[in-house]
Amino acid sequence: MSDRGSFSSRMGFILAAAGSAVGLGNIWRFPYLAGTNGGAGFLFIYLLCIVSLCIPVMIGEIAIGRNAGSDAYGSYQKLGGGKWGYLGIYGILAGIIILSYYNVVAGWAFGYFLEISFGNLLNHQNFGEFFGEYVNAIGPIFLFSLGFMIMTAVIVSQGIAKGIEAANKIMMPGLYIILIGLIIYSLTLNNAMDGVRFYLVPQLENITLKTIFYALCQAFFSLSLGMGCLVTYGSYVTKDQNIVKSAAIISGADTSVAFLAGLLVFPLVFSLGAEPGQGPKLIFVILTQAFSTMGPIVGRIVGGSFFLLICFAALTSTISLLEVPAAFFVDTRKLPRKAVVWGLSGFIFVLGLPSMFSQGIIPFLNKLPVHNSPDFLSFIADLCDIMLISGGCLMCFFIRNRWKVDSLNKELAIGNPSYLGTALQSYINFSISWVCPIILSILTTLVVIDKFFGLEWLFG
Ligand code: TRP
C-alpha cells in the first residue's frame, strides 16, 4: 500500500474535501441555476436539501471510506461483498464523466482569466456575444482545457498528501477574501437591492417541482456527493478525527461560498439591468460586464484575480474527480499511480471533446433530440446529476440494509466518543434509514422522467 498515503493532519482532510466541494459548482452553476429557478425559492430549497439529505449522506460516505480504508470500489466490496462493489464502479464512472465536461468549463474559466489579464476582453461592448464566440473558438479552448487537465494530472500524480493538501491551503482563504470584497462593491451599485430581494426574499408561488429537482441535484453536485468521492477521501482520514464535525465544516464552507457567489451575482445582474435567467453564460457575461466598468487597470487586476481564483477552485475539484478513478486503479488493480493518472487524464480529455464541440461548432451536438438538454454538455451534466442522486440513494440503502446503521454509529463514535446516544445520532440514523432512501428514490425517478421525457408526459 505504499502508494496510498494519508492526509497529514485534520486540517488537511477538511481542506481537501472542502476544496473538492468548492468549485465551478458554487461560482458558476449555483448562481445560474438560482437565476433560472426563481432566486430565493431556489436558495431556500437548496438549504433544505443540504440539511435534511446531503449532510447525512456526506457523513455516511466518509464513514464508509474510513472504515474500509480503500477506494470507492474496494470499500463497498469489502464492507458489502456480493454485487455492492458495483456501486463503487458506478460512482467511479460518474466521476470520469463529470470530469470530462467539467474540464471543458474549467478551460473556459482559464481562458477568461488569460483574456482579462493579458488581452482586451474588457474593451468589448457585448459580453454575451463575446462568450458565444469564445466558447466556439476551438483552438484556444482546446489548449486551455488540455492545460487544465495536465495541471490536474501533475498534482494527482504527486499523491494525496503533498499535491492535494498544498493546493487547497492557498486557494480557500483567497477565494473568501475576493468574494467578500466584490460583494461590498456590488452592494453599493444602483438597484443592487432589487438583486438582494430576488435572491433572499422567497416568493412561494415560484417554487415548483423543477425548483426542487434542480436544487437537489445542485446540492449533491456541489458537495461532491453520490459518487464515492468522499468515500475515497474518507479512506485517507485517520481514526482520531471527528467525522461528523468535519462534515459540518465542509458543508458549511461549501454552502457559504455558493451563498456568497449568489450575493455577488444578483445585485450585479439587477444593477446592470440584465436577465437573471440567462443560463450557463450568466457569470461569464455579468462579471466581465461589471469588471469592464471598473476602469482598464482596476478591472484587469480585480477581474483577473477573480477568474484566477475560480480556476484554483475548479482545480481542487478536478483533482478530487481524478483521484476517485485513480485510487481505484492504484488500490484495487495495484497499478503504479503515475501511469494510471496520465492514462486516465488522456482518456477523460478525449471523452470531453464532444462537450467541447457542443456549443455550436458541430451543429448536431448543439441540438440533441433529447428533451430538456439542448446541447451535449448539458445532456452529460444532466446524466451525471442523475447518477449522483441515485448513487447517494443507493449508498443509503447500502448502510440501511447491508452495512447496518449500527456499524455507521460505531465508526462515527471513533474520534467522537460522546456521539452515541445524542439527538444528532438519532437524526442522522433516521435520515439515512428513512428520509434519504424514500425521498431520494422518489425524486430520482421524477428527475429521470423530467430530464428525458418531460414532466408533462407524467402529469399531462
Ligand atoms: N463539487 C464540485 C463543484 O462544486 C465538483 C465536484 C468535485 C464533484 N468532485 C465531485 C461533483 C464529485 C460530484 C462528485 O464544483
Q: Which domain holds residue 267?
A: 10-459
- Nearest atom in ligand 1 to the alpha carbon of residue 23 is 15
| pLDDT at res. 4 | 65
Q: Find the helix or strand (DSSP H, E) in which 41 lies.
A: helix 40-49
Tell whether 3 is covered by a domain. no
Tell whether 20 is covered by a domain. yes
87-104 confidence digits (pLDDT tens): 999 999 999 999 999 999
Record the cell numbers describing residue 160, joined without a space: 494525496
List the CATH number of the domain containing 42: 1.20.1740
Q: Indicate the average pLDDT of the chain.
A: 93
User: Does residue 116 contact residue 434 with C-beta atoms inside 8 Å?
Assistant: no
User: Does residue 129 contact residue 353 with C-beta atoms inside 8 Å?
Assistant: no
pLDDT above 70 covers a percentage of the chain that reads: 97
Question: Residue 52 pLDDT more than 60?
Answer: yes
Tell whether 4 is covered by a domain. no
DSSP string, 65-87: HHHH-S-HHHHHHHHH-TTTHHH
From the number of C-beta atoms within 10 Å of its C-beta (0-12, 13-18, 19+), residue 409 rates as middle
Q: Which residue has the higher pLDDT, 169 or 93?
A: 93
What is the distance in angstroms between the CA of the first residue and the CA of the last residue of the chain?
56
Q: Scanning the structure block, which residue is given the C-alpha cell 425521498?
A: 439
Q: What angle do CA 200, 206, 212 make, to 5 degrees?
A: 90
100 Cβ closer than 6 Å to some ligand 1 atom? no
Q: Which of 10, 12, 283, 301 is nearest to 131 (CA)?
A: 283
Question: Residue 398 pLDDT more than 90?
Answer: yes
Tell whether 195 is covered by a domain. yes
User: Does residue 149 contact residue 103 with C-beta atoms inside 8 Å?
Assistant: yes
| pLDDT at res. 12 | 79
2 — pLDDT class (breaks 50, 70, 90): very low
325 Cβ closer than 6 Å to some ligand 1 atom? no
| pLDDT at res. 444 | 97
Q: Which of 180, 191, 196, 166 is nearest to 306 (CA)?
A: 180
- Nearest atom in ligand 1 to the alpha carbon of residue 225 is 14
70 — pLDDT class (breaks 50, 70, 90): very high
Q: Which of 413, 250, 334 is nearest to 73 (CA)?
A: 334
Q: Scanning the structure block, which residue is given the C-alpha cell 452529460?
A: 380
Rounded mean pLDDT of 400-414?
98
Rounded mean pLDDT of 369-389?
89
From atom 6 of ligand 1, which residue's Cα is the shortest distance away?
224
| pLDDT at res. 144 | 97
Question: Residue 131 pLDDT more than 80?
Answer: yes
221-254 confidence digits (pLDDT tens): 999 999 999 999 999 899 999 999 999 999 999 9
Rounded mean pLDDT of 418-434?
97
Sign of the dihedral defined by the CA atoms of residues 191, 192, 194, 198, in that order: positive
Question: Residue 1 pLDDT more than 50?
Answer: no
Question: Residue 367 pLDDT more than 90?
Answer: no
| pLDDT at res. 373 | 67
Q: Which of 285, 369, 291, 258 is nearest to 33 (CA)?
A: 258
| pLDDT at res. 162 | 67
From atom 13 of ligand 1, which residue's Cα is the shortest distance away?
224
| pLDDT at res. 65 | 97
Tell whether 289 is covered by a domain. yes
From atom 10 of ligand 1, which residue's Cα is the shortest distance away?
224
Tell whether 154 is covered by a domain. yes
| pLDDT at res. 370 | 76
49 Cβ closer than 6 Å to some ligand 1 atom? no
222 Cβ closer than 6 Å to some ligand 1 atom? yes
Tell whether 1 is covered by a domain. no
| pLDDT at res. 456 | 76
- Nearest atom in ligand 1 to the alpha carbon of residue 94 is 14
Distance (Å) from CA 220 to ligand 1 centroid: 8
Q: Which residue has the higher pLDDT, 206 or 140?
A: 140
257-283 confidence digits (pLDDT tens): 999 999 999 999 999 999 999 999 999
58 Cβ closer than 6 Å to some ligand 1 atom? no
25 Cβ closer than 6 Å to some ligand 1 atom? yes
Q: Total domain count for the chain?
A: 1
271-315 confidence digits (pLDDT tens): 999 999 999 999 999 999 999 999 999 999 999 999 998 998 999
| pLDDT at res. 129 | 95
228 Cβ closer than 6 Å to some ligand 1 atom? no
Tell whether 2 is covered by a domain. no
